[in-house]
Amino acid sequence: MDNFDKRPPSNSRNNHSFHTNYDLVCFSHLRWDFVYQRPQHLMSRFACARRVFFFEEPVFSDEPSRLDISEREDNLFIVVPRVSHGDKEKRDVSEIQRELLKELFDAQKINEFVLWFYTPMALTFADHLQPLAIVYDCMDELSAFKFAPRALHENEAILFERADLVFTGGQSIYEAKRSRHERVYAFPSSIDVEHFAQARAHFEEPTDQKSIASPKLGFCGVIDERMDIALLDETAHLRPDWQFVMIGPVVKIDEADLPKRENIHYLGGKSYQELPAYIAGWDVATMPFAINESTRFISPTKTPEYLAAGKPVVSTPIRDVVRPYGEMGLVHIASTAEEFVAAAEKAMHDQSPARMRLADDFLARNSWDKTWQQMSGLISEIVNLRSTRSTVAKNKVFCRY
């Protein structure tokens, strides 16, 4: 993979020695308590060394506008702006958020800080801040998602101009964005191997899955416009003796539109801690994603998670799954329902030790800890350089007197 993506220089990994006291303020379109994925993995690790403020999108209510701040673990604060309907009618929501953001900075005494953006839309209320560095972690092409704000493209263009570093959530989106900034780095989905490897041990199946017959073909993740529900329906129709277990919240699509068959089981969202127990009971792990604009640049975190759990995997031809997982023979690729059935049949007999060793060797080079260390090193380079320049400038002024 090293021949086609941009990795951080090796000396960026441990360069944390000079300026380490800054806070990190993260603006996210995803809520902390939604699905545990890339933002949670990274921000939890940053919080081991500094205060992290995870600033979510606003929640609207009839109560007076305010900030809700909750500490989830040491140094990690979830910040939820609650905007009253009355304020929303009188003023622009961005203006209200700007005031609430100022309250946060004043109350928490946030003086030296780095800004981390998951959503460019946060610029509408945070563009006045003077951080030590700006990071844009472009984990998805948000403009292709359902209900994307019209101003997203414009705000992303501004963010590219102001950002010091751009990280991408996969190889495909890196290739699409790398010409827009001089410091773009590909950081595809990583893995907490130890957590998902628990699925290889014997588990007492969770109650709501235990009663489902085998073979079980499972999926865990958000069920939204990226899911090929027609493919799921047709595959379940072709093999009524197979059971399809769908784990995850349903968002942005009507639940009434989901295929309803006796062998399709929607179990709802589960916590990150519960996932290994569910995956352990599957015969095949699946990723029946649609091939459309919303999936063009996705790099599913569940790909390495399924492999760490020791499960054979069948996926539709998502580019960042085909490269490298399909090309390495780690994931079976299928486009149609007939191909999905054939691939799943093959996968059920794909328990060779050689495949498991190949998957384990690949995953050993890829972890959220390594990703966080490399990202942190790149940020430290920016912060240290600016701190050095500031010190030199101050010394020059002092010497003149």
Q: Which letter, b or e, does each residue of 50-62 get, where b requires 16 or more Cβ atoms within 10 Å of its Cβ?
A: ebbbbbbbbeeee
Question: 2 falls in which pLDDT band (50, 70, 90)?
Answer: very low
**pLDDT per residue over 288-347, tens digit each?**
999 999 999 999 999 999 999 999 999 999 999 999 999 999 999 999 999 999 999 999
**Every domain of the chain and the residues it spans:** 10-190+367-396, 193-363
Task: Please compute the mean of the pLDDT values over residues 116-138 and round it to a whole number.
Answer: 97
> Helix, strand, or coil here: 335?
coil
**Angle at the Cα of 219 from the Cα atoms of 367 and 354, rounded to 5 degrees:** 55
Range of lowest pLDDT (91-100, 138-147, 272-281, 329-338): 138-147
Least Cα distance to 167 among 38, 349, 355 occurs for: 38
Q: Do domains 10-190+367-396 and 193-363 have the same CATH topology?
A: yes
295, exposed or middle or buried, with CB in 10 Å at 0-12, 13-18, 19+? buried
Residue 184: partners with Cβ closer than 8 Å, 6 or more residues away: 6, 166, 167, 168, 174, 177, 178
> Helix, strand, or coil here: 74?
coil
Whether the pLDDT of residue 374 is over 80: the answer is yes
For the chain, counts of helices (H) and of strands (E):
15, 15
**pLDDT per residue over 162-187, tens digit each?**
999 999 999 999 999 999 999 999 99
Higher pLDDT, 309 or 21: 309
In Å, how far from its chain's centre is CA 372? 13
Q: Give the CATH fold of the 10-190+367-396 domain.
A: Rossmann fold (3.40.50)
Beta bridge partners, 147, equal none
What CATH architecture applies to the domain 193-363?
3-Layer(aba) Sandwich (3.40)
d(CA 267, CA 280): 15
Question: 28 falls in which pLDDT band (50, 70, 90)?
Answer: very high
Q: Which amino acid is at 105?
A: F
Cα Rg, the chain, nearest whole Å: 23
Question: What is the pTM assigned to this prediction?
Answer: 0.88
First to last CA, the chain: 55
Residues 16, 376: contact at Cβ < 8 Å? yes
**pLDDT per residue over 217-269, tens digit each?**
999 999 999 999 999 999 999 999 999 999 999 999 999 999 999 999 999 99
Residue 353: partners with Cβ closer than 8 Å, 6 or more residues away: none
